[in-house]
């Protein structure tokens, strides 16, 4: 559950406004929900109240668990503070919680301090939380002291919780009106997110894709930006990073379809830049195979003297694949990796910080078991493609000069293998890596389950079309679809993409049918030892620059190589032409410095064969020019 990246949501509403039903709709996609019931049981003779409670219980799915917190008001804050990142909590409601808080059985109690503890627990909670509360600010001031105490305490609680939550919505007559932030999502149907994600203030915000097409007004994910290093010889506003192509649009929005004509890199500047390397003043044979980096940068920048990429953005796509594709993975581990990235921890976030790269984490729709049913609905595929395009467009508008594409979902390798098998005719067992457990052991049973899942998915779709969108819907899933949209959007805006891992290569295979130009804007730093990456790179004509067999996770491997690639470009741009090829007159040889022995640095050398040390005390006066002092010596 995520509402455009806000993972703690306060739902306000009056009596019978539909606030509870709306709150429950926000967590329908969560596999398990912890329902925190705050209201006391009440008078056993109050049948109307018992009917209300029974209606609430009847709406809860069987997979939900219910916990009662009415016995101790402070327990609610303790539950929120101890919740795990892969959990989803629904608190219904704060009115019942305040009622218990004001109960004489719990007095004396510091109401203000208890409310502050609850707000702080919400602010630091690592789980996804939806809270329901009655809105009492629109009613008349009660006439009784007890009622005034209740409205005052609940009003204070609502204000504190609203300040701590990422989003606040007021439900009136069943219609949601979003109060925080100002721009609201289109509907509750846009509230989807795989389990285990959590946004952190000051970290990149996670945005889940809607089941329907995202509108242009929907805000894209926030970006955690670091100050990038200044590239040599680069002027602000370099024209090669400016927008270069209008997006294909019709009245209904962006059109992504097979056979799109997107720009190609400059076919002349790349070879010119490589030829120029042979003229540079270097003592050795040159850059070796890394001259391909210079040729790629020159072609994508449109100049024979390319500069190092200054502004780099990492896109981390988080989306799990259900079924046998995720066999051998630890439940919630991919969500934990995404949380690490948002919080600035883990290999990817640390390498991004070291490289001065911004980081953007995007949740994608969870994929259904591909061996049993299509991974995505056709509408979700269209939405994911458009969303990925918009992510690339946003990066180009921000002046990003290089995108790094990675993924961290469960089952991504099997999904990529299925895409590769469908588009290149590969056998599943030939493109699936062995499954390595957390203890470093090979899990052959999990590997066989993954192979069977891919085999069964291919058999299920054997009579299905193999168009790009059909492959994404049947086999690829949300992360591959978004990655495909990113590649297409980056191609349209002339932004190169550094691929890393099976998801990016699978997206490259799919993008061939939509726009064959996309692969020419892609660079592969290292194959990481993945057989699927090796085969896809061979089909796409992408030769890995390095053979380090890094396996730090998608995106992190590319960031390890990024400083080297930047250094190559900076060196190629800064070195002059060799003097023998017309690079200018050779510099004069420096003069040999006069040698001075440190032992005699404070003494005067008057004769190469005679050195006169300073006398220790007053000596006899000289009687003639040819008179030798008694303290002198003659060398030799």
Active site residues: 554
> What number of other Cβ atoms are within 10 A of residue 588's Cβ?
6
Query: 363 is written with which tokens?
Result: 């949740």
The residue ranges of DSSP E strands in 436-521, in sequence order, are 497-499
- CB 246, CB 262: distance < 8 Å: no
Report the interhelical angle of 412-424 vs 502-514 (nearest 10°).
40
3-state secondary structure of 71: coil
Name 466's Cβ contacts closer than 8 Å, sequence gap at least 6. 422, 423
End-to-end CA distance of the chain: 94
d(CA 129, CA 83): 10
Secondary structure letter of residue 526 according to DSSP: B
Q: Which stretches within 172-286 are classed as H helix?
A: 269-277
- CB 388, CB 298: distance < 8 Å: no
3-state secondary structure of 390: helix
d(CA 213, CA 223): 22
The residue ranges of DSSP E strands in 199-324, in sequence order, are 207-208, 249-250, 253-254, 312-318
Range 591-619 burial, b when 16+ CB lie within 10 A, else e: eeeeeeeeeeeeeeeeeeeeeeeeeeeee
Q: Which residue has the tokens 């079924």?
A: 323
Query: 13 is written with which tokens?
Result: 């509403």
- CB 17, CB 172: distance < 8 Å: yes
- CB 634, CB 610: distance < 8 Å: yes
Residue 102 has φ and ψ, to the nearest 5°, of -90, -5
d(CA 448, CA 431): 13
Taking CA atoms, 422 is separated from 8, 428, 468, 519, 543, in Å, by 40, 10, 10, 18, 22
- Among candidates 186, 222, 260, 217, which has minimal Cα distance to 485? 260
Query: 634 is written with which tokens?
Result: 């003659």
d(CA 240, CA 230): 16
- Among candidates 316, 290, 307, 263, which has minimal Cα distance to 492? 263
Q: Please give the distance of CA 345 from its chain centroid, rounded to a whole number.
A: 12
Instruction: Give me the DSSP letters along 143-179.
Output: SSHHHHHHHHHHHHHHHHHHHHSSEEEEEETTEEEEE
Residue 55 has φ and ψ, to the nearest 5°, of -65, -40
Q: What pairing do the DSSP bridges indicate for beta strands 253-254 and 249-250?
A: antiparallel
- CB 256, CB 384: distance < 8 Å: no
d(CA 93, CA 90): 9
């Amino acid at each position: 559950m995520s509402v455009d990246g806000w993972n703690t949501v306060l739902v306000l509403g009056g009596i019978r406004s539909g606030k509870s039903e709306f709150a429950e709709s926000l967590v329908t996609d969560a596999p398990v929900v912890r329902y925190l019931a705050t209201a006391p049981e009440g008078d056993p003779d109050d049948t109307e109240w018992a009917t209300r409670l029974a209606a609430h219980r009847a709406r809860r799915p069987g997979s939900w668990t219910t916990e009662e917190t009415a016995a101790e008001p402070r327990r609610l804050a303790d539950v929120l503070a101890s919740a795990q990142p892969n959990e989803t909590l629904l608190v219904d409601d704060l009115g019942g919680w305040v009622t218990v808080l004001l109960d004489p059985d719990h007095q004396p109690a510091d109401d203000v301090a208890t409310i502050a503890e609850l707000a702080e627990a919400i602010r630091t909670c690592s789980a996804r939380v939806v809270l329901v509360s009655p809105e009492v600010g629109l009613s008349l001031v009660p006439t009784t002291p007890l009622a005034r105490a209740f409205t005052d305490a609940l009003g204070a609680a609502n204000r504190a919780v609203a300040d701590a939550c990422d989003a606040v919505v007021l439900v009136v007559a069943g219609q949601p009106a979003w109060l925080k932030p100002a721009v609201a999502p289109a509907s509750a149907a846009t509230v989807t997110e795989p389990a285990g994600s959590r946004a952190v203030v000051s970290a990149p915000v996670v945005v889940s894709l809607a089941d329907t097409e995202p509108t242009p007004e929907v805000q894209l994910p926030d970006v955690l930006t670091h100050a990038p290093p200044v590239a040599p010889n680069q002027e602000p506003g370099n024209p090669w990073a400016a927008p270069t192509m209008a997006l294909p649009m019709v009245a209904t929005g962006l059109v992504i379809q097979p056979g799109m004509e997107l720009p190609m890199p400059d076919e002349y500047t790349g070879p010119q830049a490589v030829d120029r390397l042979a003229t540079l003043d270097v003592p050795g044979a040159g850059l070796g195979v890394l001259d391909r980096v210079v040729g790629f940068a020159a072609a994508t920048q449109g100049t024979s003297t390319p500069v190092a990429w200054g502004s780099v953005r990492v896109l981390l796509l988080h989306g799990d694949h259900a079924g046998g594709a995720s066999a051998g993975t630890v439940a919630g581990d991919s969500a934990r990796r995404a949380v690490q990235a948002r919080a600035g921890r883990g290999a990817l976030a640390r390498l991004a910080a070291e490289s001065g790269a911004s980081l953007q984490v995007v949740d994608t729709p969870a994929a259904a078991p591909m061996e049993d049913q299509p991974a995505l609905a056709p509408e979700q595929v269209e939405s994911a493609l458009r969303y990925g395009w918009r992510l690339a467009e946003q990066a180009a508008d921000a002046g990003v000069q290089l995108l790094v594409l990675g993924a961290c979902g469960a089952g991504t390798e099997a999904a990529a293998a299925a895409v590769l098998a469908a588009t290149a005719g590969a056998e599943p067992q030939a493109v699936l890596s062995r499954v390595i457990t957390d203890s470093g052991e090979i899990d052959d049973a999990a590997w066989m389950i993954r192979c069977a899942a891919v085999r069964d998915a291919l058999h299920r779709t054997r009579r299905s079309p193999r168009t790009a969108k059909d492959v994404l819907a049947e086999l690829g899933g949300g992360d591959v679809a978004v990655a495909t949209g990113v590649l297409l959007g980056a191609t349209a805006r002339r932004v190169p993409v550094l691929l890393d891992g099976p998801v990016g290569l699978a997206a490259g295979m799919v993008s061939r049918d939509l726009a064959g130009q996309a692969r020419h804007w892609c660079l592969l730093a290292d194959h990481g030892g993945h057989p699927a990456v090796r085969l896809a790179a061979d089909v796409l004509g992408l030769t890995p620059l390095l053979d380090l067999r890094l396996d730090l996770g998608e995106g992190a491997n590319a960031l390890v190589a990024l400083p080297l690639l930047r250094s190559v470009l900076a060196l190629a741009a800064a070195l002059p032409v060799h003097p023998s090829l017309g690079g200018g007159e050779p510099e004069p040889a420096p003069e040999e410095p006069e040698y001075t022995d440190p032992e005699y640095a404070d003494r005067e050398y008057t004769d190469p064969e005679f050195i006169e040390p300073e006398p220790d005390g007053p000596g006899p006066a000289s009687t003639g020019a040819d008179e030798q002092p008694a303290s002198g010596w003659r060398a030799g």
